[in-house]
Amino acid sequence: LQARAVALHDSENESIGVLVVMTDVTRLNRLENLRRDFVANVSHELKTPITAIRGYVETILEGALDSREDTLRFLEIVKRQTTRLEAIIDDLLTLSRIEDRSSKDDIKLARMRIRPVLEAALQTCAVKAKEKDVVVEIDCHESLEARINQPLLEQAVINLLSNAITYSPAGSTVWIRARKSPDNEGVEISVADQGIGIAREHQERLFERFYRCDKARSREQGGTGLGLAIVKHIAQSHGGSVTVSSSPGRGSVFTLKLKR
């Protein structure tokens, strides 16, 4: 609480009391802390690849050029880190665009069939699934509809599907299921895998920007740590939500709940 006090006087300048104004700054402080954390996180995430790029370029300049093999190896690393920077910046831009549009109520929803959206998302991830030898199955009635923004929902399903494939073992299956919610008021789209799963203590924080259960593993897989934050914003921009249920070693199910 922030307090300000003003002494009050009557026309004879006699003191008649004190006016105290108390302002609850908890929320403001919390927002300020979130903003500060976010800027610190972004800076850190961008600095990591940049430091690596500088290190390898300096090494090349300092003489590794003598060995063509080393030079090529270092340049490969530089290229990979640049791709990483691009991925982080793309995700940050996506996130800020959705936030911006959500705050202006600028996201147009239209009643559409869900199945083609799931198929389009699968198409985007098909190469990755094939490389990892993961089979993806879609289970969604042809006629199922909901009020959606098609490119945004497709992006959300791509993010969930891409994670499911990343964290699944070869030879396993990922299911994308969509159906009316039990109360018949909405639609639930879930992406289920048989992968490494997520420990309980991580589950609540997964949807925060840059939160990862295993930093090294996520980076190695080219993750930006922003995928689920984007999914959460997309769900919210549809007036819906996203939840996770998972047990380590057995797999995870992420469920998007949308209104019909």
C-beta closer to ligand ADP: residue 17 or 249? 249
Least distance CB 231 / ligand ADP (angstroms)? 8
C-beta closer to ligand ADP: residue 186 or 223? 223
Least distance CB 93 / ligand ADP (angstroms)? 15
Question: Is residue 164 a contact residue for ligand ADP (CB under 6 A)?
Answer: yes
C-beta closer to ligand ADP: residue 118 or 196? 196
> What is the 3-state composition of the chain as percent helix, strand, coil, each rounded to the nearest 5?
50, 25, 25
Is residue 228 classed as helix, strand or coil in its secondary structure? helix
Is residue 77 classed as helix, strand or coil in its secondary structure? helix
Question: Is residue 227 a contact residue for ligand ADP (CB under 6 A)?
Answer: yes
* Number of residues located near ligand ADP, criterion CB under 6 A: 22
Question: Is residue 149 a contact residue for ligand ADP (CB under 6 A)?
Answer: no
Least distance CB 63 / ligand ADP (angstroms)? 36
C-beta closer to ligand ADP: residue 149 or 163? 163
- Which residues, other chains included, contact 11 with Cβ-Cβ below 8 Å and sequence gap of 6+? none
Task: Write the DSSP string, 119-180.
Answer: HHHHHHHHHHHHHTT-EEEEEE-TT-EEEE-HHHHHHHHHHHHHHHHHTS-TT-EEEEEEEE
The amino acid occupying position 100 is D
Question: Is residue 195 a contact residue for ligand ADP (CB under 6 A)?
Answer: yes
Q: Write out the binding residues for ligand ADP, residues 205-224 only, by CB under 6 A.
A: 206, 211-214, 218, 223-224
Task: Report the alpha-carbon distance of residue 236 to residue 257 in Å, rounded.
Answer: 10
Question: Is residue 228 a contact residue for ligand ADP (CB under 6 A)?
Answer: yes
Least distance CB 209 / ligand ADP (angstroms)? 8
Tokens 């930006």 label which residue? 224
C-beta closer to ligand ADP: residue 76 or 90? 90
Least distance CB 221 / ligand ADP (angstroms)? 7
C-beta closer to ligand ADP: residue 94 or 159? 159
Question: Is residue 193 a contact residue for ligand ADP (CB under 6 A)?
Answer: yes
- E-strand spans in the chain? 2-9, 15-23, 110-113, 135-140, 145-148, 173-180, 186-192, 241-247, 251-259
- Nearest of 243, 213, 211 to residue 227 by alpha carbon: 211
Phi, psi of 168 (to 5 degrees): -110, 150
C-beta closer to ligand ADP: residue 148 or 226? 226
- Nearest of 166, 206, 191 to residue 257 by alpha carbon: 191
Question: Is residue 49 a contact residue for ligand ADP (CB under 6 A)?
Answer: no
Question: Is residue 252 a contact residue for ligand ADP (CB under 6 A)?
Answer: yes
Q: Which residues bind ligand ADP (CB under 6 A)?
A: 159, 163-164, 167, 193, 195-196, 198, 206, 211-214, 218, 223-229, 252
